Amino acid sequence: MAQVNLPAQTKADSRLSSISRIRGKIQGFVIEDSANNIAFPIPRPILDTSKPLLNTLHREFNGVYGSELDVFPWHFVVEMDASADYVIHMLRPISQKFPADRNWYESQIKANGVDLNSDTKDFFKNRKDKELDQMIHILIIGDSDLDVYARDIYKKIGAYIIGPLSRLNFLSPVANIFPLNMGTKFNLKALITASTSGA
């Protein structure tokens, strides 16, 4: 499989330098899945097997993008384990910015002919105040057009990630969670409820 160029920011991404850190407070939360990912698409599906899906994601990611990144681009990755429990992996310090900005996303959309859903089109058109590299990125392994999510996934993401970080950064989860190209099986309302229940 041919390697793909990564954003220029990744050159500094491997070290925790000042240019690779989020400036001030985070600007919100981006939720994406591995099947419909805009910034870092992975062409082959990650099938549900008995092996940890994170290992498969790592192998597929390096197959496409090489090993230029010391860590995954996402701050958190969520997978379902063999016991059907959702596991959250923190893979990037929350102080470290996401290595792709709005320009990179827009170039990927154009270069790959990405078909955006209406919420994602609205985000790119109307939320230019949100800098994607200054947001916390959460990847759910799988395809949100096909996978059915138990309520537990929303409770865990809300209680362990979005709720606490929203309070710490004085953000309202209602206005600051952005599912980019997530499919019809993803329930944003359930995630907002879970993220605000502990407030």
* pLDDT digits 0-9 by tens, 107-163: 999 988 999 999 999 999 999 999 999 999 999 988 898 888 889 999 999 999 999
Looking at residue 134, the DSSP 8-state letter turns out to be G
**Spatial CA neighbour of 28 closest among 145, 179, 141:** 179
Rounded CA separation 86/82 (Å) = 10
> Do residues 195 and 164 touch, judged by C-beta distance below 8 A?
no
Burial of 9 (0-12, 13-18, 19+ CB in 10 A): middle
Taking each helix axis as running N to C, give the angle between helix 102-112 and helix 118-126, from 0 to 180 degrees, rounded to the nearest 10. Answer: 140
Instruction: Give me the pLDDT at residue 43, please.
Output: 65
3 falls in which pLDDT band (50, 70, 90)?
Answer: very low
* pLDDT digits 0-9 by tens, 23-36: 889 999 999 999 89
Rounded CA separation 9/131 (Å) = 14
Structure tokens at 124: 């790119």
Per-domain boundaries in the chain? 25-196
**pTM for the predicted model, two decimal places:** 0.87
Structure tokens at 19: 């240019």
Structure tokens at 123: 């985000």
Q: Which amino acid is at 22?
A: I
Predicted confidence (pLDDT) at residue 178 exceeds the cutoff of 80: yes
Instruction: Go through 79-99 and write b for each residue having 16 or more CB atoms within 10 A of its CB, e for each that does not.
Output: bbeeeeebebbebbeeebbbb
CATH C-level class of 25-196: alpha beta
* pLDDT digits 0-9 by tens, 62-86: 877 776 566 689 999 998 876 778 9
